[in-house]
Structure 1
Amino acid sequence: MRRGDASAPHDEAVKVVGMGNWSIGGGVATSDPSVPPDVAGGVQAAQFVGQGRVTATPLCMTSVAATVRNAGFERPIILPEQRQDKAPQPISTRTAGYLQPMMRDVAAGGTAAPRLHDPADVGARTGTAEEGEHTNGRLTAHNSHIAVAALVEGGSGVDSAGYVARRLLSDA
Protein backbone atom coordinates (compact mmCIF):
# COMPACT_ATOMS: atom_id res chain seq x y z
CA MET A 1 0.00 0.00 0.00
CA ARG A 2 1.32 3.43 -0.93
CA ARG A 3 1.42 6.23 1.64
CA GLY A 4 -1.89 8.13 1.40
CA ASP A 5 -3.55 5.33 -0.59
CA ALA A 6 -7.31 5.92 -0.34
CA SER A 7 -7.96 2.18 -0.36
CA ALA A 8 -6.54 1.95 3.18
CA PRO A 9 -9.67 3.29 4.96
CA HIS A 10 -11.83 1.07 2.76
CA ASP A 11 -9.80 -2.05 3.50
CA GLU A 12 -9.76 -1.35 7.25
CA ALA A 13 -13.53 -0.68 7.28
CA VAL A 14 -14.34 -3.89 5.42
CA LYS A 15 -11.89 -6.24 7.14
CA VAL A 16 -11.99 -4.90 10.71
CA VAL A 17 -15.52 -3.50 11.16
CA GLY A 18 -17.39 -5.64 8.62
CA MET A 19 -18.60 -2.72 6.49
CA GLY A 20 -19.87 -3.82 3.12
CA ASN A 21 -21.74 -6.75 4.62
CA TRP A 22 -23.21 -5.24 7.76
CA SER A 23 -26.38 -6.62 9.28
CA ILE A 24 -27.63 -7.01 12.82
CA GLY A 25 -29.78 -9.96 11.79
CA GLY A 26 -33.21 -11.03 12.97
CA GLY A 27 -34.92 -9.46 9.97
CA VAL A 28 -34.03 -5.96 11.18
CA ALA A 29 -33.29 -3.78 8.16
CA THR A 30 -30.12 -1.72 8.27
CA SER A 31 -28.41 0.51 5.76
CA ASP A 32 -25.06 -0.93 4.79
CA PRO A 33 -22.21 1.51 5.45
CA SER A 34 -19.79 2.30 2.69
CA VAL A 35 -16.21 3.47 2.43
CA PRO A 36 -15.49 3.61 -1.33
CA PRO A 37 -12.07 2.21 -2.27
CA ASP A 38 -11.32 4.25 -5.38
CA VAL A 39 -11.25 7.99 -4.80
CA ALA A 40 -8.81 10.72 -5.78
CA GLY A 41 -8.06 14.38 -5.25
CA GLY A 42 -10.03 16.33 -2.63
CA VAL A 43 -12.42 13.44 -2.12
CA GLN A 44 -9.48 11.29 -1.03
CA ALA A 45 -8.54 13.76 1.71
CA ALA A 46 -12.18 14.00 2.80
CA GLN A 47 -12.44 10.21 2.92
CA PHE A 48 -9.63 9.95 5.47
CA VAL A 49 -11.72 11.94 7.98
CA GLY A 50 -15.03 10.21 7.28
CA GLN A 51 -16.39 12.73 4.77
CA GLY A 52 -16.59 12.61 0.99
CA ARG A 53 -18.56 9.56 -0.09
CA VAL A 54 -18.27 7.69 3.23
CA THR A 55 -21.65 6.66 4.65
CA ALA A 56 -22.37 5.03 8.00
CA THR A 57 -25.33 4.78 10.34
CA PRO A 58 -25.11 5.67 14.04
CA LEU A 59 -25.50 1.97 14.82
CA CYS A 60 -22.46 1.16 12.71
CA MET A 61 -20.48 3.97 14.33
CA THR A 62 -21.32 2.49 17.75
CA SER A 63 -19.63 -0.67 16.54
CA VAL A 64 -16.60 1.33 15.40
CA ALA A 65 -16.29 3.00 18.84
CA ALA A 66 -16.55 -0.35 20.63
CA THR A 67 -14.00 -1.89 18.26
CA VAL A 68 -11.54 0.93 18.96
CA ARG A 69 -12.16 0.72 22.73
CA ASN A 70 -11.58 -3.03 22.88
CA ALA A 71 -9.00 -3.24 20.06
CA GLY A 72 -11.26 -5.96 18.64
CA PHE A 73 -14.48 -6.07 16.63
CA GLU A 74 -17.71 -5.45 18.51
CA ARG A 75 -20.97 -5.52 16.56
CA PRO A 76 -23.94 -4.27 18.58
CA ILE A 77 -26.20 -6.99 19.94
CA ILE A 78 -29.77 -5.78 19.83
CA LEU A 79 -31.90 -8.91 19.68
CA PRO A 80 -32.06 -11.53 22.46
CA GLU A 81 -29.68 -14.45 21.94
CA GLN A 82 -28.13 -12.76 18.92
CA ARG A 83 -24.65 -14.05 18.22
CA GLN A 84 -21.85 -11.63 17.65
CA ASP A 85 -20.04 -12.29 14.39
CA LYS A 86 -16.32 -11.79 14.18
CA ALA A 87 -14.68 -9.49 11.65
CA PRO A 88 -12.36 -11.05 9.06
CA GLN A 89 -9.35 -9.60 10.92
CA PRO A 90 -8.75 -7.78 14.22
CA ILE A 91 -7.96 -4.09 14.34
CA SER A 92 -4.23 -3.66 14.00
CA THR A 93 -2.24 -2.71 17.08
CA ARG A 94 -0.96 0.29 15.14
CA THR A 95 -4.45 1.53 14.18
CA ALA A 96 -5.80 0.99 17.71
CA GLY A 97 -2.71 2.73 19.07
CA TYR A 98 -3.54 5.81 16.99
CA LEU A 99 -7.31 5.85 17.47
CA GLN A 100 -7.59 5.15 21.21
CA PRO A 101 -5.58 8.20 22.36
CA MET A 102 -7.11 10.40 19.66
CA MET A 103 -10.63 9.50 20.80
CA ARG A 104 -9.65 10.08 24.46
CA ASP A 105 -8.19 13.47 23.52
CA VAL A 106 -11.40 14.46 21.67
CA ALA A 107 -13.40 13.68 24.83
CA ALA A 108 -10.97 15.20 27.33
CA GLY A 109 -9.95 18.42 25.62
CA GLY A 110 -11.15 18.38 22.03
CA THR A 111 -14.45 18.97 20.27
CA ALA A 112 -16.41 16.62 22.58
CA ALA A 113 -15.00 18.08 25.81
CA PRO A 114 -17.91 20.49 26.43
CA ARG A 115 -20.18 17.46 27.00
CA LEU A 116 -17.90 14.51 27.84
CA HIS A 117 -14.96 15.94 29.78
CA ASP A 118 -15.78 14.30 33.12
CA PRO A 119 -15.07 10.55 32.80
CA ALA A 120 -11.43 9.60 32.32
CA ASP A 121 -12.25 6.44 30.38
CA VAL A 122 -14.27 8.12 27.60
CA GLY A 123 -13.26 8.33 23.96
CA ALA A 124 -15.25 10.17 21.30
CA ARG A 125 -15.54 11.39 17.72
CA THR A 126 -17.78 14.32 16.86
CA GLY A 127 -19.09 15.29 13.48
CA THR A 128 -21.52 17.35 11.51
CA ALA A 129 -22.80 15.42 8.52
CA GLU A 130 -24.05 17.33 5.52
CA GLU A 131 -27.23 15.93 4.01
CA GLY A 132 -28.70 17.95 1.18
CA GLU A 133 -29.47 21.44 2.44
CA HIS A 134 -29.15 20.71 6.18
CA THR A 135 -26.70 19.23 8.66
CA ASN A 136 -26.95 16.47 11.23
CA GLY A 137 -25.03 16.47 14.49
CA ARG A 138 -23.23 13.20 15.27
CA LEU A 139 -21.27 11.99 18.22
CA THR A 140 -19.83 8.52 18.71
CA ALA A 141 -18.35 7.69 22.11
CA HIS A 142 -17.39 4.89 24.46
CA ASN A 143 -16.59 4.44 28.10
CA SER A 144 -15.36 1.30 29.85
CA HIS A 145 -18.87 -0.24 29.77
CA ILE A 146 -20.62 0.70 26.53
CA ALA A 147 -20.27 2.39 23.17
CA VAL A 148 -22.92 4.80 21.90
CA ALA A 149 -23.66 6.95 18.89
CA ALA A 150 -26.11 9.80 18.63
CA LEU A 151 -27.51 11.57 15.58
CA VAL A 152 -29.59 14.72 15.82
CA GLU A 153 -31.12 15.81 12.53
CA GLY A 154 -30.65 19.51 11.92
CA GLY A 155 -27.98 19.76 14.59
CA SER A 156 -24.24 20.16 14.66
CA GLY A 157 -21.83 17.75 16.36
CA VAL A 158 -21.36 18.09 20.07
CA ASP A 159 -23.85 20.97 20.35
CA SER A 160 -26.74 18.60 19.69
CA ALA A 161 -25.70 14.95 19.70
CA GLY A 162 -23.29 15.53 22.59
CA TYR A 163 -26.14 15.86 25.06
CA VAL A 164 -27.65 12.55 23.94
CA ALA A 165 -24.36 10.67 24.07
CA ARG A 166 -23.51 12.09 27.52
CA ARG A 167 -26.85 10.94 28.89
CA LEU A 168 -26.46 7.44 27.44
CA LEU A 169 -22.95 7.10 28.83
CA SER A 170 -23.89 8.41 32.28
CA ASP A 171 -26.96 6.12 32.52
CA ALA A 172 -24.91 3.01 31.72
Structure 2
Amino acid sequence: MEPTVSTVPACLRALVAAAERAVPPRVVRGREVPVTVVLGQPNVGQMDSDEMVLIAFTGEPGDAAVTSTRTQRQATPAPDRESYDVTCLATSWHGHDDEPLPVLDRTYEMVNALAAELAADGTLGGVVGRTRISTDQLVQVQTDHGATAVLRFTVHVEAFTRPF
Protein backbone atom coordinates (compact mmCIF):
# COMPACT_ATOMS: atom_id res chain seq x y z
CA MET A 1 0.00 0.00 0.00
CA GLU A 2 1.34 3.41 -0.98
CA PRO A 3 1.62 5.80 1.99
CA THR A 4 -0.48 8.95 1.93
CA VAL A 5 -0.38 12.24 3.81
CA SER A 6 -3.02 14.57 5.17
CA THR A 7 -4.27 17.57 3.24
CA VAL A 8 -4.57 19.63 6.45
CA PRO A 9 -1.32 21.68 6.06
CA ALA A 10 -2.04 22.54 2.41
CA CYS A 11 -5.67 23.31 3.24
CA LEU A 12 -4.70 25.70 6.04
CA ARG A 13 -2.34 27.58 3.72
CA ALA A 14 -5.10 27.76 1.10
CA LEU A 15 -7.66 29.00 3.66
CA VAL A 16 -5.30 31.81 4.71
CA ALA A 17 -4.82 32.78 1.05
CA ALA A 18 -8.59 32.65 0.45
CA ALA A 19 -9.26 34.91 3.44
CA GLU A 20 -6.56 37.36 2.34
CA ARG A 21 -8.15 37.54 -1.13
CA ALA A 22 -11.77 37.66 -0.03
CA VAL A 23 -12.04 39.79 3.09
CA PRO A 24 -12.29 43.45 2.12
CA PRO A 25 -10.48 46.15 4.07
CA ARG A 26 -12.55 48.46 6.25
CA VAL A 27 -12.73 52.07 5.05
CA VAL A 28 -12.24 54.65 7.78
CA ARG A 29 -12.49 58.32 6.78
CA GLY A 30 -11.63 57.43 3.19
CA ARG A 31 -8.63 55.30 4.16
CA GLU A 32 -8.52 51.52 3.77
CA VAL A 33 -7.63 49.63 6.93
CA PRO A 34 -6.53 46.08 6.07
CA VAL A 35 -7.74 43.04 7.94
CA THR A 36 -5.06 40.96 9.64
CA VAL A 37 -5.29 37.32 8.52
CA VAL A 38 -3.28 34.87 10.62
CA LEU A 39 -2.71 31.13 10.68
CA GLY A 40 -3.09 30.03 14.29
CA GLN A 41 -2.70 32.23 17.33
CA PRO A 42 -1.74 35.84 16.58
CA ASN A 43 1.61 37.07 17.88
CA VAL A 44 2.00 40.09 20.16
CA GLY A 45 2.47 42.51 17.25
CA GLN A 46 -0.73 41.32 15.56
CA MET A 47 -2.88 41.62 18.69
CA ASP A 48 -3.26 45.38 18.17
CA SER A 49 -5.23 44.87 14.95
CA ASP A 50 -8.79 46.17 15.00
CA GLU A 51 -10.00 43.41 12.70
CA MET A 52 -8.67 39.90 12.38
CA VAL A 53 -9.49 36.59 10.76
CA LEU A 54 -7.69 33.75 12.50
CA ILE A 55 -7.51 30.45 10.62
CA ALA A 56 -7.10 27.33 12.81
CA PHE A 57 -7.37 29.06 16.18
CA THR A 58 -10.14 28.57 18.75
CA GLY A 59 -9.37 31.64 20.81
CA GLU A 60 -7.75 29.53 23.52
CA PRO A 61 -4.01 28.88 23.24
CA GLY A 62 -3.31 25.15 23.24
CA ASP A 63 -6.80 24.06 22.14
CA ALA A 64 -6.99 21.78 19.09
CA ALA A 65 -8.17 23.87 16.15
CA VAL A 66 -8.39 21.05 13.59
CA THR A 67 -10.24 17.82 14.21
CA SER A 68 -9.68 15.20 11.51
CA THR A 69 -10.99 11.71 10.80
CA ARG A 70 -9.55 9.36 8.18
CA THR A 71 -11.47 6.39 6.86
CA GLN A 72 -10.85 3.90 4.08
CA ARG A 73 -13.21 3.66 1.21
CA GLN A 74 -14.62 0.18 0.73
CA ALA A 75 -11.94 -2.33 -0.32
CA THR A 76 -9.51 0.31 -1.58
CA PRO A 77 -6.25 0.62 0.32
CA ALA A 78 -5.47 4.24 -0.60
CA PRO A 79 -6.13 7.10 -0.53
CA ASP A 80 -7.94 7.57 2.76
CA ARG A 81 -11.03 9.71 2.89
CA GLU A 82 -10.32 12.66 5.14
CA SER A 83 -13.01 14.69 6.87
CA TYR A 84 -12.07 17.55 9.15
CA ASP A 85 -13.22 20.73 10.80
CA VAL A 86 -11.07 23.85 11.06
CA THR A 87 -12.05 26.24 13.84
CA CYS A 88 -11.53 29.90 12.94
CA LEU A 89 -12.29 33.30 14.46
CA ALA A 90 -13.23 36.66 13.04
CA THR A 91 -13.24 39.72 15.26
CA SER A 92 -13.93 43.41 14.86
CA TRP A 93 -13.39 46.33 17.22
CA HIS A 94 -13.84 49.97 16.26
CA GLY A 95 -12.08 51.90 18.98
CA HIS A 96 -14.04 53.55 21.75
CA ASP A 97 -17.38 53.12 19.97
CA ASP A 98 -19.76 51.25 22.27
CA GLU A 99 -22.34 50.60 19.54
CA PRO A 100 -22.53 46.83 18.96
CA LEU A 101 -24.19 46.86 15.53
CA PRO A 102 -21.26 48.22 13.45
CA VAL A 103 -18.84 45.60 14.79
CA LEU A 104 -21.47 42.87 14.49
CA ASP A 105 -22.15 43.79 10.87
CA ARG A 106 -18.45 44.05 10.04
CA THR A 107 -17.60 40.71 11.62
CA TYR A 108 -20.30 38.97 9.60
CA GLU A 109 -19.20 40.86 6.47
CA MET A 110 -15.72 39.36 6.85
CA VAL A 111 -16.99 35.80 7.38
CA ASN A 112 -19.57 36.11 4.60
CA ALA A 113 -16.81 37.26 2.22
CA LEU A 114 -14.82 34.12 3.03
CA ALA A 115 -17.96 31.99 2.66
CA ALA A 116 -18.53 33.49 -0.81
CA GLU A 117 -14.91 32.70 -1.74
CA LEU A 118 -15.39 29.09 -0.60
CA ALA A 119 -18.66 28.87 -2.54
CA ALA A 120 -16.86 30.05 -5.68
CA ASP A 121 -14.01 27.55 -5.23
CA GLY A 122 -14.81 24.97 -2.58
CA THR A 123 -11.81 22.88 -3.59
CA LEU A 124 -9.35 25.66 -2.72
CA GLY A 125 -7.70 25.34 -6.10
CA GLY A 126 -7.82 21.54 -6.06
CA VAL A 127 -6.24 21.14 -2.62
CA VAL A 128 -9.32 19.43 -1.15
CA GLY A 129 -12.58 17.96 -2.38
CA ARG A 130 -14.98 20.40 -0.76
CA THR A 131 -15.12 23.14 1.89
CA ARG A 132 -17.90 25.12 3.46
CA ILE A 133 -18.57 27.09 6.60
CA SER A 134 -20.70 24.75 8.65
CA THR A 135 -21.23 26.39 12.06
CA ASP A 136 -20.70 29.70 13.78
CA GLN A 137 -20.98 31.09 17.30
CA LEU A 138 -21.20 34.80 18.09
CA VAL A 139 -19.94 36.55 21.23
CA GLN A 140 -20.47 40.29 21.69
CA VAL A 141 -18.61 42.06 24.47
CA GLN A 142 -18.62 45.60 25.82
CA THR A 143 -15.12 46.42 27.03
CA ASP A 144 -13.52 49.54 28.49
CA HIS A 145 -12.36 50.19 24.93
CA GLY A 146 -15.72 49.76 23.18
CA ALA A 147 -17.86 47.09 21.59
CA THR A 148 -16.26 43.95 20.20
CA ALA A 149 -17.77 41.11 18.18
CA VAL A 150 -16.09 37.71 17.95
CA LEU A 151 -17.44 35.08 15.58
CA ARG A 152 -16.06 31.58 15.96
CA PHE A 153 -16.79 29.60 12.81
CA THR A 154 -15.99 26.16 11.52
CA VAL A 155 -14.85 25.33 8.01
CA HIS A 156 -15.81 21.74 7.24
CA VAL A 157 -13.51 19.98 4.76
CA GLU A 158 -13.89 16.77 2.76
CA ALA A 159 -10.78 15.48 1.01
CA PHE A 160 -8.70 12.46 0.08
CA THR A 161 -5.18 12.07 1.40
CA ARG A 162 -2.36 12.67 -1.08
CA PRO A 163 0.50 10.37 -2.10
CA PHE A 164 3.53 10.73 0.16
- Fold equivalence (TM over 0.5): no
User: Higher RCO, 1 or 2 (CA under 8 Å, sep at least 6)?
Assistant: 2
The TM-score with structure 2 as length reference comes to 0.33
The TM-score with structure 1 as length reference comes to 0.32
Greater strand content: 2
Question: Which structure has the larger Rg?
Answer: 2
Greater helix content: 1
